[in-house]
Amino acid sequence: MLKEILFILFSVVGFSLTYYIWKKTIKSKKKLLCFISNQGACDKVIKSKYGHMFGIDNTILGMLYYILILAVGLTYFVYPSLTTLNYFILGEKIITGLAAGMSIILTLIQFFVLKQFCEYCTVANIINVLIFAVVWGL
């Protein structure tokens, strides 16, 4: 029961955060200001060449990921027997592992390549690692 609640909680928080970033920077073309770090750092990170993969903005990929995680969390409640199937569990582990791995890579790029700190990005990356930890029972 805790796993399901954490899935839903993390997916809603993650989606809300990435939607805010997308709405602020991509849709309205405004500058994203950080609260903690250098005032232009978040905007520099979001709009850097690392702000998209496969030609798709990272915020859109993030929103899609969080919708998928929300669907998985809701599946636990609606069809609990489905979640015991090996392919469901394997798919869950692969998807969250890829997301956590990319989050770690993007965090390292943020600090060591861009030398900028975006707290919005960092929180989203932490959420992805937490989702991974929930799936793997860490």
**12-21, 80-89, 92-101: least confident range:** 80-89
- The Cα 78–Cα 24 span in angstroms is 34
> What 8-state DSSP symbol labels residue 51?
S
Integer CA distances (angstroms), 70 to 3, 14, 117, in order: 12, 10, 28
Cα–Cα separations (whole angstroms), residue 136 to 11, 47, 69? 16, 32, 14
What's this model's pTM, rounded to 2 decimal places? 0.89
How do residues 34-82 score in pLDDT, each as one tens digit? 777 666 778 888 888 999 898 899 999 999 999 999 998 888 888 888 7
- Do the bridges between strand 52-53 and strand 56-57 make them parallel or antiparallel, or are there none, so unpaired? antiparallel
